[in-house]
Amino acid sequence: MKSIQDVRATNAETFNTKTRSHLYTQWQRFTASDHSSFRIGIWGTTGAGKTTFLAMLYDALLLRPGWTVAADGKARGFITGHLRNIRTKGRFPAPTEVTAETDIFRYILQEEGSQGADGAYNQITLDFVDAPGEFYERPHQADRRVSGKMDILDYLSSCDGIIFLLDPDRVDESLGDEDDDYRTMLLDLMLEFQERGIKSGVSDDLRLEQYMAFCATKSDKNTYWTQREAPQNLLENVMGDTMYRMLGSNFCKPNRYSFFAVSAIGRYQDPETGEWVENVSYNGQAPAPRRSRAQEPVVSTTNIGPAYEPGAPEAAAVAEETETPAPPRSPNASWAPVSGNGGSRPDYAPEVSIVRKSAITPFNVLEPLDWLIESMRRDPPRILK
C-alpha cells in the first residue's frame, strides 16, 4: 500500500483543472435534478476517516427499519468495493487518490410516512465527494479562480447541512510546517460561508444558515472513548478552543451546530469479560497505541533550543574532561534530538486492521445525520442553490 506521502505527492500533481471540470459537469447534472430535498455534504481532511465512515454509514442506513436508502450508480461501486474490504477482509480503504474522474456520489434517503400532502416523499440527499483531504484542506489553491469551475467551496456552500469529520489524532503537534491546523481551515471555511451568505442576499442575518455537525472520528480509541459522553470537549481540543468559541459567538445560530463522537468501526464486546474493547489493531499488535501529546518525549528538539545542539557548546565541556579516558555518558545524551517522525502526520498503515470483522459495531454513525435531518425539517435553512 502506498504511503500517505506518496499519495499526497501524486495528488498534488493530478489535482488540476481537468478534475475540477469533471466535477463541475456532474454537479450540474445533480443540481438540475434536485427537487425539494435537503442536501447534506461532508467535509474532512486526509485520513480523517471519510471513506470508512461513508461506507459504514450506508451499511447502517440499509439496516435501518423505516428508512430506505438508494445509491446512484457511481456511489454503488464505491460502497460495494469498500464494504467488502471492511466487512470481509477487515481492511481499511486505501488512501483516496485524486483522479480526473473524482466523482460526486449521492445517497438518497427516504423515510416511511414522510410524504407531503401531494404524496411526494420528502427526500434527503447526501452528496459527497470522496476526494482526498487536499481537496478540503486547500480550497483556495491555485487554479480555482482561474478555471472558474466547481470546487469544494461551491459544493459545501450549496449544502443545507454539513457533516464535519475531524481526526482527533491530528493535533497541532502532529502537523508538518506546510499543514494548516483545523482552526485555520475551519475559520477560512466559516468566513467563506459568511461571505457567500451575505452576497446571496437570502438573509440579512450575518450568521450562517447551514446546519453543522462536528464529529470527532475514531472515538473507539481508548482515550477518546472515555470522552464520548462529552463530545464538545473532545472537539474543543481538536479544533482549538478559540475556533470552538467562535462558532457560538460569531458564526452559528444557536441550534444549528452540534458535536458528536463517532466511530465507523466501533468497539466490540469481548465474549469472555463482557467488556467493550478496541476493534482496531495497530502494527499488527494488540490494539491500543495512540498518538498523543502525552506520548511525545518530554524534552523535544523544540524546547531544547539551539544552545543545546550536541557538539556545539557542550564540546567545550567535554574537552576539559579529556583526561578521563572514557567519560561517562552525559545525562544530557538522553536529550538527543528526536529525529524526524515526531512531527509527521498519522500514516496510513496497512498493518492497521480490524480485529473482529464479524463484530463491527459502528458507533454514532447515524446520529449526526438524524440530528441534521430533524433540525432542518423543523427550521429549514435558506440556502441559495
What lies within 8 Å, CB to CB, of 270 at 6+ separation is 276, 277
Residues 279, 354: contact at Cβ < 8 Å? yes
> Quick one: which of 218, 256, 291, 345 contacts ligand GDP (CB under 6 A)?
218
> Quick one: which of 246, 352, 355, 366 contacts ligand GDP (CB under 6 A)?
352
> Quick one: which of 160, 181, 220, 236 contacts ligand GDP (CB under 6 A)?
220
What lies within 8 Å, CB to CB, of 164 at 6+ separation is 43, 44, 186, 212, 213, 214, 215
Residue 51 contacts Mg ion per CB under 5 A: yes
> Quick one: which of 348, 371, 373, 375 contacts ligand GDP (CB under 6 A)?
348
> Quick one: which of 69, 126, 185, 280 contacts ligand GDP (CB under 6 A)?
280
Strands (E), 331-376: 353-354
CB of 63 to ligand GDP, least distance (A): 17
Dump the DSSP string for 291-334: --GGGS-SS-HHHH-GGG-TTTHHHHHHHHTTTSSSPPPPGGGG
Residue 251 contacts ligand GDP per CB under 6 A: no
CB of 50 to Mg ion, least distance (A): 5
Binding span for Mg ion by CB under 5 A among 66-74, 92-100, 303-311, 337-345: 92-100
Continuous segment of H or E residues that includes residue 233 = helix 231-239
> Quick one: which of 264, 277, 360, 369 contacts ligand GDP (CB under 6 A)?
264
For residue 254, the tally of other CB atoms under 10 A from its CB is: 7
By C-beta, is 287 or 381 nearer to ligand GDP? 287
> Quick one: which of 263, 281, 364, 375 contacts ligand GDP (CB under 6 A)?
263
Residue 170 contacts ligand GDP per CB under 6 A: no
By C-beta, is 51 or 158 nearer to Mg ion? 51
Among Mg ion, ligand GDP, none, the one that 49 touches (CB under a kind-dependent 5 to 8 A) is ligand GDP
Among ligand GDP, Mg ion, none, the one that 239 touches (CB under a kind-dependent 5 to 8 A) is none
Among Mg ion, ligand GDP, none, the one that 265 touches (CB under a kind-dependent 5 to 8 A) is ligand GDP
For residue 223, the tally of other CB atoms under 10 A from its CB is: 15
By C-beta, is 38 or 225 nearer to ligand GDP? 225
CB of 233 to Mg ion, least distance (A): 27
Binding span for Mg ion by CB under 5 A among 89-97, 294-302, 340-348, 361-369: 89-97
> Quick one: which of 11, 26, 45, 96 contacts Mg ion (CB under 5 A)?
96
Strands (E), 194-344: 211-216, 257-261, 267-269, 276-278, 280-281
CB of 100 to ligand GDP, least distance (A): 19
What lies within 8 Å, CB to CB, of 103 at 6+ separation is 22, 23, 26, 74, 78, 129, 130
Question: In the range 79-98, which residues lie near ligand GDP by CB under 6 A?
Answer: 92-93, 95-96
- Considering only CA atoms, which of 197, 202, 216, 29 is closest in space to residue 127? 29
Q: How far apart are CA 69 and CA 64, in angstroms?
A: 9
Residue 210 contacts Mg ion per CB under 5 A: no
In whole angstroms, how far apart are CA 339 and each of 108, 122, 336, 342, 344? 48, 56, 9, 7, 11
Residue 49 contacts ligand GDP per CB under 6 A: yes
b/e 328-355 (16+ beta carbons within 10 angstroms → b): eeeeeeebeeeeeeebebbebeeebbbb
**128 beta partners:** 105
Residue 179 in grid coordinates = 499543514
What x/- string results for residues 128 through 167 when contact with ligand GDP is judged by CB under 6 A? -----x----------------------------------
**269 beta partners:** 276
| Interface ranges with ligand GDP (CB under 6 A) | 44, 46-52, 92-93, 95-96, 133, 217-218, 220-221, 263-265, 280, 348, 352
